Amino acid sequence: MSRVKSGKPELRLADTVSDGRGRVQKKTNKADQAYDALQSMITFQELPPGSMLSEAALMELTGFGRTPVREALQRLARERMVEIHPNRGVFVAGTSVEAQLKLLELRRTVEELAVRLATHRANAEQKEAMGRLTGRLDNLPDADLKAFERTLKEIHELIATAADNDYLLVAMTPLQGLSRRFWFAHMQSPGEELATAASLHSAILHAICHGDEEEAASASLRLNDYLVEFSYRTIHSR
């Protein structure tokens, strides 16, 4: 079996962001860039669960200064990816099947609402961007886990933006980030899992682009069903 690589740590992994209309813009907020870099390192276990790191070490790893790193860590702490212990350091939280299943219960409802709203509220530029993302899913190499993770983040952000509800965006971001982390951490057959995830996300985007609310909702629920089934599979693979 060929080795699937996540790639070397990237100091500034996500220097760009979708503007919600399909245009990629360079991020100017260093705290956002530091957040994306640290989140990626946690997702791909370059910062392993259970590790305790100093703020200075994280500054060196990311290449960002104290203020953006501190702001990024506060956001990651709110999203339960890290725990900040004053005078001791930053603890990288672990993952568990139990926590993932509880998270997916909430994500199921929130994401279904998001795709239903996006079906009616997505504008032409957003739909065009969804079409491009569908094409990208079809053409990503199986071995490029980080590129796939970045594409998933773009898809999730675009759907939430197209739903045109800021509160929904705030609710969805940590749910999707934590569930992505669990998924990448527990893959046993990456090629198969990436193909399944690509197909499920493409179905959601296709339905939104065609204004089919019920199919978009159904596709969203199928994605959630898959993630739940994947979570249970991790128990048996231990």
Which runs of consecutive H residues, i.e. helices, occur in the chain? 30-43, 55-62, 66-78, 97-121, 124-139, 145-162, 166-185, 190-209, 213-236
- Whether residue 172 has pLDDT greater than 60: yes
- Whether residue 25 has pLDDT greater than 60: no
Determine the distance from the C-alpha atom of residue 116 to the mean position of all C-alpha atoms in its chain, rounded to a whole number. 20
Model pTM score: 0.84
Domains of the chain: 16-92 (1.10.10.10), 97-236 (1.20.120.530)
CA–CA dist 67, 168 (Å, integer): 28
- Whether residue 17 has pLDDT greater than 50: no
Burial 73-98 (b: 16+ CB within 10 A, else e): bebbeebebbeeeeeebbbbbebeee
pLDDT 10s digits, 201-219? 999 999 999 999 999 999 9
Q: Which residues contact 80 (CB under 8 A, 6 or more apart)?
A: 93, 174, 178
- Whether residue 63 has pLDDT greater than 60: yes
- Of residues 34, 10, 49, the one with CA closest to residue 186: 49
